[in-house]
């Protein structure tokens, strides 16, 4: 282990690789560049690359900052949260940036859809009500 970078450890374990892959996937999903992540963490782009390949460990503080940047939880980054389907995750991330009023409108619409029942079936050229 290097004395210059106490988070650097060349030994790579399965959990570390999974975390590295989740961090890279989150960054790519949000279309962030490694340089942008590096600026938030106050580390070099090369250090972000090392984190994403599992060659550098992530400190607890860095993990909190990454979770905040990615709009998710530390537990999810660590793989402790149950998997959420992609549509639900995309809806969460999209609505997070909306105003309180707009989020309330989206919620009302989602509740409307949930209570509306199944859509009518298409039979031939016409719609049939169930």
pLDDT digits (tens, 9 = 90+) for 57-116: 999 999 999 999 998 889 989 988 666 688 887 888 888 888 999 999 999 998 898 888
Q: How confident is the model at residue 4 (pLDDT cuts 50, 70, 90)?
A: very low
The per-residue pLDDT for 90 is: 82
57: burial class by Cβ within 10 Å (0-12, 13-18, 19+)?
buried
- Give whole-number Cα distances, 87 to 35, 53, 64, 92, in Å: 28, 27, 24, 9
Terminal Cα-to-Cα distance of the chain (whole angstroms): 67
Domains in the chain and their CATH numbers? 14-78 (1.10.260.40), 86-117 (no CATH)
Chain mean pLDDT for the chain:
84
Name the pTM for this structure: 0.58
Q: How confident is the model at residue 41 (pLDDT cuts 50, 70, 90)?
A: very high
The per-residue pLDDT for 128 is: 60
The per-residue pLDDT for 60 is: 94
């Amino acid at each position: 282990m290097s004395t210059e970078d106490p988070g650097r450890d060349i030994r790579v374990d399965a959990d570390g690789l999974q975390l590295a892959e989740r961090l890279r996937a989150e960054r790519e999903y949000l279309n962030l560049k490694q340089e942008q992540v590096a600026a938030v963490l106050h580390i070099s782009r090369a250090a972000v690359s090392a984190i994403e390949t599992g060659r550098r460990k992530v400190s607890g503080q860095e993990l909190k900052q990454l979770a905040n940047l990615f709009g998710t939880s530390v537990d999810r980054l660590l793989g402790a949260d149950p998997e959420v389907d992609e549509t639900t995750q995309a809806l969460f991330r999209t609505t997070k940036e909306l105003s309180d009023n707009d989020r309330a409108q989206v919620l009302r619409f989602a509740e409307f859809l949930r209570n509306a029942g199944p859509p009518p079936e298409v039979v031939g050229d016409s719609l049939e009500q169930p």
